Amino acid sequence: MHSNRAVFLDRDGTLNADPGYISNPDQITDLLPGAIEGLKKFKQQGFLLVVVSNQSGVGRGLIKPETLPLVNAKINQILAPQGIQIDRFEMCTHKPDENCICRKPHPGLIHSAAKALSIDVSQSVMIGDRLTDLECGINAGCKTIILIRSGDGKKTEANLINEFKVDFVVDDLVEAAKHT
């Protein structure tokens, strides 16, 4: 059986601006600069696109559970005119103190998507703006780990320690697509 390769992406701060708990699809008006072009390039390279996102606002009561699919649908609505879609959205709605296996940096979201879409994680890429995103990709066994400087990325980059394994640091998803 043929396995798929995927680009696992954080959502808020990587694909779209991160104003804090997004509780309404109208808060997503566009994607970050370079995001659409980068996603197109990943698709042209044969990658599935999978969003893996901690959304503890649901567990904290700040976001209604039924809002998450609407926010995700809005992202695909923005992408639709470009002929691309996010293939799967994996969300952890638990609070940090619930110690679930799906909350990044745990690899549960990636494992769930890999099982559902027959993804070979060892041939896949993780892209995010926070240490928890990068650690999630490492913990899952992704081939390539990319820190993006959008969202909290610049702060994360400044705090990276030398021993921490990041394959590339990029300004946007267009640049990230050059490294896959």
Residue 3 pLDDT level (bands cut at 50, 70, 90): confident
- When divided into structural domains, the chain yields a total of 1
Where on the phi/psi map is residue 39: left (φ > 0), alpha (ψ -120 to 50), or beta? Answer: alpha
Q: Does residue 129 have a pLDDT over 70?
A: yes
Active centre residues (catalytic): 10, 12
**Mapped to the 3 state alphabet, what secondary structure does 7-33 carry?**
EEECCECCCECCCCCCCCHHHCCCCCC
Which whole number is the average pLDDT over 9-28? 96
Whether the predicted pLDDT of 164 surpasses 80: no
Rounded Cα gap, residues 166 and 57, in angstroms: 28
Give me the pLDDT at residue 144, please: 97
Average pLDDT over residues 4-22: 96
Report the CATH number at residue 59: 3.40.50.1000
Using 50, 70 and 90 to split pLDDT, how confident is the model at 93? Answer: very high
List all residues 6 or more positions away from 150 whose beta carbon is below 8 Å from its beta carbon: 13, 14, 32, 129, 171, 172
Average pLDDT of the residues of the chain: 95
Cβ atoms of residues 135 and 104 within 8 Å = yes
Question: At 83, is the secondary structure helix, strand, or coil?
Answer: coil
pLDDT for 37 beyond 70: yes
State the Cα–Cα distance between residues 40 and 18, nearest whole angstrom. Answer: 22
Distances (CA, A) of 83 to 77, 89, 149, 171: 10, 18, 26, 24
Residue 33: count other Cβ atoms within 10 Å of its Cβ. Answer: 13
Indicate the DSSP class of residue 164: S
- Other CB atoms within a 10 A radius of the CB of residue 10 amount to 28
pTM over 0.85: yes
- Give me the DSSP letters along 62-77: SS-TTHHHHHHHHHHH
| pLDDT score of 94 | 96
- Domain range for 124 is 5-177
